[in-house]
Amino acid sequence: MRRTPLTLAVSAALVAGTALGLAPAAQAAEAGETAGTGIRFVDIAGEGGTVLKANVVTPAGSTDSTRHPLIVLPTSWAMPQIEYLAQAKKLADSGYIVVSYNSRGFWQSGGEIETAGPKDIADASKVIDWALANTGADPAHIGMAGVSYGAGISLLAAAHDPRIKAVAALSGWADLIESIYSGRTQHLQAAALLGGAGYLTGRPGPELQKILGDFLSSNLDKEEDMIAWGRKRSPAEQLDRINANGAAIMLGNAWGDTIFPPNQYASFFEKLTGPKRLEFRPGDHATAEATGLFGLPNDTWTSAHRWFDRHLKGVDNGIDREQPVQLKSRSANGYEGYADWKSVHANQRKFDLGGTQRVWANIDSGANGGITLLTNALDQFLRTPPVVSVPLLPRAFAGVWQSERYDTPQRVRGTVKVHTTVSSTKESGTLVAYLYDVGPLGVGKLVSNAPYTFHDRTPGKPFGVDLELFSTAYDVPAGHRLALVVDTVDPLYIEHNPTGAQLTFSSPSADPSYVSVPLRKE
């Protein structure tokens, strides 16, 4: 069933683990430099008495009798307890007590990795309890924040602990299934990176070991178990409780996040009923926040500080009067504000996927989404997305459709949708759709992509496919055109194409195939 070698997954995991392993040493130097500024390293008893290694940063000159708003920071996946020291120092300097702790199962904290399970959520409340008992934290003004794993735990904690009044969830997830199993396709490099880093820096529990093994081995007999496991850990499944508790929620993410793609955050944002803010920027997983972890100027962290100042300290800084959706294009400077996510993609322009095209499966055409963490980080800093020569793509292995050449710039904003009709010579298969910005010489720059997998289809019988590509903001220059490319292999994903499979894409007159492109209103 799965043709992608497992060795690729292991290699990606080891590379990721090595990279993450270097971070603690780099940050430890910073910890030493700030040791005299009100930092204490403490042990906190988490759920079941499990020891959580933590640090406390307090405002200069504060005493336990002086009340300050509290911010709790659970660490990211595989990161040590000193991850947030630079930001904790900034927050303490502006009047907050900050408690950062190493999530259970990682580094020196006790227990096993629960992957934002019930014990992790209970740990967050235990840390709040400890802070209220041992510091001058104000019980009426409590916030939580984090990057990646810390973001997910913060959102889930807000569903279970009404004391949390504000959250800044950066590069996190709202729907774990839509993040790493979108289109019913395993995101191979993302899962391998997380799994490898977990084994290298922590102690995965038996449940995580089994889930990860079933996931990477494509054990469809356990698919429902894997989905149930993911739903239990998805803030989107706790939406009613989050809305009832009423915490002010800020969500920040990158357009090219290859671990937690932006679509699922945008959908979650639309359903929140309390104070909320959504920010999307260029980059990959956690790269939009990375410079802030080293104390450098950073737009995402600046917004998070303003969010807490407004909703925990009552500072009238105007953030609640700004448009709640703030986007930065991958190909332009500056930010754009929108009233809601629906307004981002209110203007749609279609181009047809006419005719019939057949492609052989199991061969990579050359179109692909890049490498997790690396490719979209390069696009963030250098504006160099993956490229292909569209005229040279082998048509035996890739379907290609192109729009007309545009006379004016096309400012793509939001979620591109693909509708087509597919038939297969086999009952299972995987396809990956890519949208390219194609210049006059035929060079295509990747705008977005997404995978789609099917099982138990009748060979030769057509069926409809509706696929949402990962949300983005990209400006197509005048004189260029858009191209949709579809092939069957991408190193980012596990594919399910049996040997010798062939896919046919058609556009029946009663149900024409098309690409719907959301454009910014001028």
Over residues 198-247, the pLDDT tens digits come to 999 999 999 999 999 999 999 999 999 999 999 999 999 999 999 999 99
Quick check: 482 pLDDT over 90?
yes
Per-residue pLDDT, averaged over 7-16, amounts to: 34
Distance linking the first and last C-alpha atoms of the chain = 47
Of 27-36, 435-444, 456-465, least confident by mean pLDDT is 27-36
Quick check: 3 pLDDT over 80?
no
Pairing relation of β-strands 399-402 and 514-519?
unpaired
Q: What confidence category does residue 38 fall into, taking pLDDT thresholds of 50, 70 and 90? A: confident
Q: pLDDT, tens digit, for every residue of 283-331?
A: 999 999 999 999 999 999 999 999 999 999 999 999 999 999 999 999 9
Q: How many CB atoms lie within 10 A of CB 355?
A: 11
Quick check: 160 pLDDT over 60?
yes
The two most distant CA atoms of the chain are separated, in Å, by 75
Query: DSSP secondary-structure letter at 470?
Result: P
The reported pLDDT for the residue numbered 25 is 34
Q: How far is CA 103 from CA 115, 149, 176, 367, in A?
A: 9, 9, 18, 38
Q: pLDDT, tens digit, for every residue of 249-296?
A: 999 999 999 999 999 999 999 999 999 999 999 999 999 999 999 999
DSSP 415-455: --EEEEEEEESSS-EEEEEEEEEE-TTSEEEEEEEEEEEE-
Give the whole-angstrom CA distance, residue 324 versus residue 257.
21
Per-residue pLDDT, averaged over 427-442, amounts to: 98
26: CB partners within 8 A, 6+ apart: none
**What ranges in 358-423 are assigned the alpha helix state H?**
375-382
Tell me which residue has tokens 């913060």. Answer: 154
Higher pLDDT, 241 or 22: 241
Of 10-24, 27-41, 96-110, 257-271, least confident by mean pLDDT is 10-24
Give the 3-state secondary structure of residue 457: coil
The reported pLDDT for the residue numbered 61 is 80
The type of residue at 428 is S
Are 135 and 59 spatial neighbours (Cβ–Cβ below 8 Å)?
no
The reported pLDDT for the residue numbered 62 is 78
Give the whole-angstrom CA distance, residue 362 versus residue 1.
11
Are 8 and 188 spatial neighbours (Cβ–Cβ below 8 Å)?
yes
258: CB partners within 8 A, 6+ apart: 187, 189, 190, 284, 285, 369, 370, 372, 373, 375, 376, 492
- Indicate the pTM of the whole model: 0.91
